[in-house]
Amino acid sequence: MSVVARARWTNLALVLLAAGAVLLVVWSGRTATRASEVRRGHLLPVFHQDEVRRIELRRGNARSVIVRRSATGSGGAPSAPSAEVDPLASDWLLAEPVETDADPVPVEKLLGSLRYATWEREVPAPPAEAASPEALLSEQVLEVVMGDLTFELRLGPPSASPPGSRYVEVSGNGEKHTYVVKKSVLDELFVDGASFRGRQIAPYRKGSTARLVLSSAAGVRRLRRVGDDFHFDGMQDEQRARRAEVDRIFLALARASADPLLDPAAAQAALSAEASVRVSLTPTATEKPEASLEFGGTCPGEPDRAIAVRILPEPLAGCVERTVLHALREPASSLIDNGLFALRADEVDAVQIVEGQQVLDFARGGDGFVLRQPRSAPLDAEAAKDRLSRLVGITGTLLAARDEPAKAAEMNAVIVTLESSARPGAERTRETVRVGPPRADGSRLVYREADGAVLIVPREESFALRADATLLKEHRIFDYPLSAVRGIEIRRGTSKTVIERTPQGALKLIEPKGYEVDGGLAIELIDQLRTLRALRWVSDSTTAGFGLEKPRVSVRLQVEVEERAIERTLLLGRAAPGGYYASADRDPGVFVAPRALDRVLGTLPLDRSIFSAERSSIVEIAMSHAQRGKILLKRVAGELTVQKGTTSSFDPERIDELLDALETLRPEAAVHTGPAPAGEGLRKPLLTVSVRRQSPESVGMPPVRFSIGSRDVFQEASIYYARHASVNATYALPRAQVQRLLELF
């Protein structure tokens, strides 16, 4: 293309863009004009009800502030911790002069009035009756915050007409206008702020309370705010109170809504005759009054509800749910915080553990976590979450002040710091604990900097406080394809199980001898082992004390990789949260193996198909119940029929149900090999079953004969013990399957 042609095309494109811009401006202007025309004559030129997040009413020095609950924390409104949020609460919160759920009815009525409020005429200049612009305005103001816009309506003096009308100055969106507004509109807008007050007894929430005092039969509990937490005040060695319990108290107070209302004087008189709980709330805002509340007694006519009275700052009384009292009556001992940290796992942004010259530092990054020290690297998100959860979940035994070491604040074997900025409206928060060296039993003393408390942390929990390399460890312990597996040997006490697998996939049970292998159980066992993953790493080095010196289970896994035979070993020790402590060759350290692994390792893979019989092969069924009699069925002319030997009340219509029960009968697993002990109830069985079979080719098939004993629990499942006549072993039949047979009698 020539230079001239390119220039022509460029000019044409510029012309088209310019024309489009003009059209856009015209269209936008018309849209704005139409919007203005729609709102013409209204006091507020713009109104979007769902965007209103704050309403303020001022009358002289009196002020009422209502905020939308979803907007709490913005626009100067107080921020409430998530733990205090009541899903049943109003969408609107009265933030001043007291804190309570705002009555939604008058709020919605005011919003509707604002939406449709109109003026009679606009006044281009201050009216003649006003000596000055300031004289026009009263101290009565209505302010509305709507998205990014703020409108202020200030009430002025009366107007000559229409009767009862007044001047109103409206400012906002960079403009100021004065209108004459009739009385009926003014009465709907400039209302008494007290009309918005809900029925909550407690006037302050946790976020705006500086001090809390509870007095009841459980004693006096005094708590004061320290940062974002509450500590005991003048008691319990000034220790930190447990955050969850403090939240529970404030949530109970937030739920204390008077319904129905009672006369405050009569309610307080009724309370004086019965044991009650007294509550004192001192707000963080020094200009606000202290609140005095009382709960207890029985609500008149409603014995399942209690009486609640707000004595100060403004009397209010009514009936509340009795469950409110439960949280308010907890003794001081239940409020004591025996955890190292107050932060929750989802609030922690960064973790730093310093142990001598070793530093472990990781933080949230994107949707997961990243390692910052000793080097930069992405972390397995689940492993990091688990480590964080274990850190914030550590609890210990609090030492009394008289028993604390003199220099506990100087302990520096390990220093752990958690950092958070997640608490609503709060600045970045840091919590630090100082850890002493291991004691004789492996436990450690930990100094909590937040309140100077000292705790004894058990040995196993203290591993989470180390600056180790467990976060960098591979969670895949074994990772082999099924085709590579050649054998498994399991030793548990004196018992031994050995399974062999050929390259073609054939399975054989070598030990215990003389039994057929159950393919399903054997494959489940192989799959659990060959793809074994650690739930979490506990230690990055070989450590005593996890039951691995004398393991409860030892496993040898034989695999073939690139025509080379390899043997891997696994040891299982004591039970751990979620599983069992374990160690494997090639990777020093202790990890937690899933509980499901121990289950399959402890399951004998004996053939379970021996109890079932295909319905088409059955030619005779004989069942005998210890108390209910016998059932005898024989196939005659191709049909199973009830024989004269039957002594129970068996219904012939249920033959199909019986055949289905026998065809689907399948044990959970073999419980043990060898003779049945007396406790299994098989010496005098509850039920015996004999099924004679024949193949379609009229070739004889071995009969199915088994007996069912007593009921028990096996691997957390309800079962009945059972034995097959041809196998020297006891099996566990599911209770539901046995019940189907028993219900036929």
pLDDT for position 89: 52
Statement to judge: residues 160 and 242 lie in one domain: no
Instruction: Dihedral sign for Cα 43, 46, 51, 56, please.
Output: negative
- Rounded alpha-carbon distances, angstroms, from residue 88 to 99, 107, 176: 16, 17, 40
Beta bridge partner(s), residue 225: 230
pLDDT digits (tens, 9 = 90+) for 285-344: 888 899 999 999 898 888 889 999 999 988 889 999 999 998 999 899 999 999 999 999
For residue 700, pLDDT beyond 90: no
Tokens 């406080």 correspond to 465
One domain, residues 190 and 269: no
pLDDT of amino acid 35: 42
Whether 567 and 584 have beta carbons less than 8 Å apart is answered as no
Per-residue model confidence as pLDDT tens digits over 213-248: 999 988 999 999 998 899 999 999 999 999 999 999
Residues 620 and 677 in one domain: yes
Q: In what order do the strands lie in the sheet with 579-584?
A: 507-511, 495-501, 485-492, 553-561, 564-576, 579-584, 587-594, 536-539
Q: Distance between CA atoms of 301 and 324, rounded to whole angstroms? A: 18
At residue 137, the pLDDT reads 57
Instruction: Tell me: do 176 and 263 sit in the same domain.
Output: no
- Assigned domain for 37 exists: no
Spatial separation of the C-alpha atoms in residues 526 and 531, rounded to whole Å? 9
Average model confidence (pLDDT) across the chain: 87
| Pair 420, 530 in one domain | no
Question: Which SS3 state, helix, strand or coil, does residue 549 take?
Answer: coil
The whole-number average pLDDT for the span 125-150 is: 70
* Residue 707, in any domain of the structure: yes
CA 480/CA 525 separation, integer angstroms: 13
| Residue 403: φ, ψ to 5° | -100, -5
- The burial class, CB within 10 Å (0-12 / 13-18 / 19+), for 447 is buried
In a domain, residue 5? The reply is no
* Cβ 486 vs Cβ 560: under 8 Å: yes
Q: Percent of the chain scored above 90 by pLDDT? A: 66
Query: Is there a domain that residue 26 lies in?
Result: no
Statement: residue 33 has pLDDT above 60: no
Residue 188 pLDDT exceeds 60: yes
Do residues 680 and 626 both lie within one domain? yes
Q: What pLDDT is attached to residue 548?
A: 93
What is the percentage of the chain residues whose pLDDT exceeds 70? 89
Task: Write down the residue that tokens 């059209």 correspond to.
Answer: 23
Q: What is the mean pLDDT of residues 147-164?
A: 92
Q: Cα–Cα–Cα angle for 578, 579, 582, nearest 5°? A: 140
CA 212 – CA 232 distance, rounded (Å):
10
pLDDT mean over 417-443: 85
Burial of 39 (0-12, 13-18, 19+ CB in 10 A): middle
Residue 551 belongs to domain with CATH number: 2.60.40
| Residue 399, phi then psi, degrees to nearest 5 | -90, 140
The token duo for 509 is: 């049970």
Residue 269 is predicted with a pLDDT of: 85
Residue 618 has a pLDDT of: 93
Residue 477 has pLDDT above 60, yes or no: yes
Q: Does one domain contain both 576 and 707?
A: no
Question: Do 618 and 567 reside in the same domain of the chain?
Answer: no
Identity of residue 202: A
- Is residue 337 classed as helix, strand or coil in its secondary structure? coil
For residue 30, is it within any domain?
no
Query: In terms of DSSP bridges, do strands 209-216 and 276-283 run parallel, antiparallel, or are they unpaired?
Result: antiparallel
- State how far Cα 280 lies from the chain centre: 31
Q: Which of 579, 601, 623 lies at the terminal end of a domain, its last residue? A: 601
Which of these three, 303, 335, 367, is where a domain ends?
Answer: 335
What lies within 8 Å, CB to CB, of 188 at 6+ separation is: 109, 110, 113, 117
217's CB contacts (< 8 A; 6+ apart) are: 275, 329
Q: Is the pLDDT of residue 481 over 60?
A: yes
User: How many domains is the chain partitioned into structurally?
Assistant: 5
Domain boundary among 553, 583, 601: 601
pLDDT of residue 54: 94
* Residues 536 and 673 grouped into a single domain: no
pLDDT at 136 over 90: no
pLDDT for the residue numbered 6 = 52
At 264, phi and psi to the nearest 5? -55, -40
Report pLDDT for 26: 44
Together in a domain, 263 and 182:
no
What mean pLDDT do residues 423-452 have?
88
Range of the domain at 625: 609-742
The answer to whether residue 464 scores a pLDDT higher than 70 is yes
Q: What is the pTM of this model?
A: 0.68
CA-nearest of 302, 107, 86, 95 to 188 is: 107
Predicted confidence band of residue 197 (pLDDT cuts 50, 70, 90): confident
Look at residue 459 and tell me if it is in a domain.
yes
Q: Do 686 and 649 lie in a common domain?
A: yes
Residue 8 lies in a domain: no
Residue 14 lies in a domain: no
pLDDT bracket for residue 392 (50, 70, 90): very high
pLDDT for the residue numbered 637: 85
Per-residue model confidence (pLDDT) at position 196: 83
Do residue 419 and residue 442 come from a single domain? yes
